Structure 1
Amino acid sequence: MKSVLVLLGVLLPLISSGQSGLTDKGLFFPKPSDNSYIKLIPQKPLNLEAFTLCMRLSVDPTVVNQDNRETILLAYRTQDYDELNVWQEKGKISLYLRSSSEGVFYAIPLLSIFRTNLCVTWESSTGLTAFWVDGRRSTLQVYRKNHKVQSGGAVILGQDPDSFLGSFDINQSFVGEISDVNMWDSVLTGDQIRHFNEKVWVGPEPNVLNWNIMQYEVNGNVLVVPEKYK
């Protein structure tokens, strides 16, 4: 009986708060849901005039790549706005700043069962925006010139909150694995982003979201995948 209880303790979804550090670990969202998510605690407020956001993802394509499905990759929501969202939707990858309707869209390779290194850069002074997939940059687009990302929100993986930490939609939930979510308050160089792709980091330490020392809260059916599976 004792061994059964120990096994159940390993297999049951982790529901806790105040954890920190995800070095060599990943997060696995095994199925669509309207209640499973990770809340990330930033190193500093997201009061941003520029950023580089990088992450590694693999998905269940039978769910995520369905025609007309929207899948949230990262959401940053304040009390009143979808302040910063990254999506895969309708055959494209997209970025939205302070909007749920006016985004910037990229017809780049979609996520798959194999791990993809995905980065996005944006700078307010020029509006220049680009996505990077496995170290290769998309064409530049101009988006939200002179805009500023506001602080005071929550960073969420797995769900898109239509209200502050609520109103989730199962048909927009993430299904797959996410790891190495890092964010800087500047636009990194191409060489630095390619080093992220190779997991040989020579650039500045992530100063907004740092996966290695991240404080995070797990809610619902999300598994922290140990190093041996990475």
Structure 2
Amino acid sequence: MTVKGFGPPNVGLGRKVMVFPYETDFSFVALIPQKEMGLRAFTLCMRVATELEGEQQIILFAYRTTDYDEFNVWREKDGHVAFYLSGDGAFFHLPPITTFRTSLCLTWESRTELAAFWVDGHRSTYQLYKQGHTIRPKGTVLMGQDTDKHLGDLETLQSFVGEVTDLNMWDYVLPRSQIQALHYGHKITKGNIFDWATIEYQLNGNVMVVDDD
């Protein structure tokens, strides 16, 4: 789904990094999925770094349809990392996300309820979350901001500051071997929702795309 009003999408971020240099209430990147996000399972991976510390909530990934926050990933004020599927979240105590890149993956499957984060190739404990749930399609994916309504009500204090690269997403749960291979930079099955090398995206505000040196 192309976000109207922001021009034609750019294509491909291989060996590139998105830089969000400071807090704003207007800077974000809209990501255009390769297929509709009506999901009953997923794997979402990215490499992320931030210098934001302390008691501040930071959005890491936001997907919203017209009436619902379908799927959001946050670093919470207390340092936990959490994700939300249309309601109460699942909270995980993970190693901190710092100025040095963290390889962060999240897996969830509706059938089994199993949800877990993976940090630098290591899995958290499983939590049971949202059995039978389906993420609804026809929404918008944003990096850098959370929306309290469809493409509106952006808040400076929830914005992301830092770097994101190698964001990939699949509509199924990747096995441990592939998640660990991805962490170490090996080639694996390309993401069928988002593939960083061929991803379509639209920039808004002060977001930079630079070589990943």
User: In 2, Cα distance between the equivalents of 1:77 and 1:210?
Assistant: 20
1:95 aligns with 2:86: no
User: In 1, Cα distance between the equivalents of 2:187 and 2:81?
Assistant: 25
1:124 aligns with 2:115: no
Per-residue deviation, 1:201: 1.9
1:210 aligns with 2:201: no
User: In 1, Cα distance between the equivalents of 2:7 and 2:20?
Assistant: 16
1:160-188 Cα offsets, whole Å, 9 max, x none, are 01111111110000000001111000000
Find the counterpart in structure 2 of residue 51 from structure 1: 42
1:114-168 Cα offsets, whole Å, 9 max, x none, are 0100000000001100000000000000000000011010000000011111111
1:55-112 Cα offsets, whole Å, 9 max, x none, are 000102xxx2222x1100000010000000000012100010012xx10000111210
SS at match of 1:196: helix
1:81 aligns with 2:81: no
Which runs of 5 or more structure 2 residues have no equivalent in the other structure? 1-5
Find the counterpart in structure 2 of residue 21 from structure 1: 12
Give, as a single letter, the amino acid of the residue that structure 2 aligns with 1:148. T
Find the counterpart in structure 2 of residue 135 from structure 1: 121
User: In 1, Cα distance between the equivalents of 2:12 and 2:50?
Assistant: 23
- Distance change in 2, residues 1:28/1:174 (3 Å): same
Give, as a single letter, the amino acid of the residue that structure 2 aligns with 1:96. Y
Give, as a single letter, the amino acid of the residue that structure 1 aligns with 2:153. S
User: In 2, Cα distance between the equivalents of 1:166 and 1:56?
Assistant: 26
Find the counterpart in structure 2 of residue 70 from structure 1: 57
Asked if 2 retains the 8 angstrom alpha-carbon contact of 1:17 and 1:218, the reply is no
Q: TM-score, normalised by structure 2?
A: 0.95
Displacement over 2 Å in runs of 4+: none
User: In 1, Cα distance between the equivalents of 2:7 and 2:34?
Assistant: 20
Q: 1:221 aligns with which of 193, 206, 212?
A: 206
In the TM superposition, 1:22-37 aligns within 5 A as 22-37=13-28
Which structure: larger Rg? 1
The percent of aligned pairs where both chains have the same amino acid is 46
Per-residue deviation, 1:221: 0.3
SS at match of 1:212: coil
Q: Which has the higher helix share?
A: 1
SS at match of 2:62: strand
User: In 1, Cα distance between the equivalents of 2:92 and 2:8?
Assistant: 35
User: In 1, Cα distance between the equivalents of 2:123 and 2:39?
Assistant: 22
Per-residue deviation, 1:17: 3.9
Find the counterpart in structure 1 of residue 171 from structure 2: 185
User: In 2, Cα distance between the equivalents of 1:194 and 1:225?
Assistant: 26
Per-residue deviation, 1:16: 5.5
Find the counterpart in structure 2 of residue 7 from structure 1: none
User: In 2, Cα distance between the equivalents of 1:127 and 1:152?
Assistant: 23
Find the counterpart in structure 2 of residue 145 from structure 1: 131
Which runs of 5 or more structure 1 residues have no equivalent in the other structure? 1-14
